[in-house]
Amino acid sequence: MRVLAAAALLAVLAVLVGCGSEPAAEEPTEEPAGLDPAEFSSEVTNPWFPLEPGTRWTYRETTEDGEKVLVVVTATSVTREIANGVTARVVRDTVTLDGEIIEDTLDWYAQDADGTVWYVGEDTAEFEDGELANRDGSFEAGVDGAEAGVIMPATPEVGMKYQQEYYRGEAEDRGEVLAFGQRARVPAGEYDGLLQTADTTPLEPDVLEHKFYAEGVGLVLTVDKESAGREELLSVTKVSPAEARSAGTAPLGTPY
């Protein structure tokens, strides 16, 4: 790992690793603001979180209300230069209910020289009856005090805790590595050797999601521990170059 990327990662993890069940620090360290763009790539190849352009993951989510929504995540061929200078991969995450878009997001990810995947921002929108309802949670590292965070360490270790994103009052998700060697059966198949993590946020203290990742695939299952809701992988497919591009450029809330 090159020096600057290593220093930034260690700064994020230093007060968040090895704390058992203790809560993560109330504030992220200031180091991530000093990330060197030269140390980052939009080519995300971490085996637990691969983002090869043109790959599409389709999930079925059962909400706390018992509704079933479709979640389509596409690693686009589009990149974006973030305000902090890092060039990131654009990933489209679209949620539909009965064919109608209810949430649409462009997520931005980049990988450092060691293989750690950083989350550097998102442009998100929620819709009601086809109309924009809010853009809560949107942030961009380097704008208005927002910071990048670690979404997947290069070498996850049990007990590791990390700030996934930081924009005060809007985006403060945190992650923790819980276990390896887990198993899950979802519509896409049966997976073993899974990495299990926990996602929390101080903005919603009751929220706790366990996520299960397969090497070479990425996220296969999310379980909401409060509501018992599940998001299960239905399929992993490839889309055409044209669709991989349009997914990253079409306005939020519109088909692509």
The CA angle 79-201-102, to the nearest 5 degrees, is 60
Amino acid at 209: E
Average pLDDT over residues 47-54: 98
196-201 — which CB contacts under 8 Å span 24+ positions?
A: 197/156, 199/164, 199/173, 199/174, 199/175, 200/173, 200/174, 200/176, 201/172, 201/173, 201/174
More confident residue, 186 or 63: 186
CATH number of 3-249: 2.40.360
pLDDT band at 12 (very low <50, low <70, confident <90, very high): low
pLDDT in tens, 57-110: 999 998 777 889 999 999 999 999 999 999 999 999 999 999 999 999 999 999
Structure confidence at residue 18 (pLDDT): 38
Determine contact, residues 203/229, Cβ cutoff 8 Å: no
Structure confidence at residue 169 (pLDDT): 87
pLDDT in tens, 136-173: 989 999 999 999 999 999 999 999 999 999 998 888 99
Structure confidence at residue 25 (pLDDT): 40
Give every CB contact of residue 223 below 8 A, 6+ residues apart in sequence.
209, 210, 211, 212, 229, 230
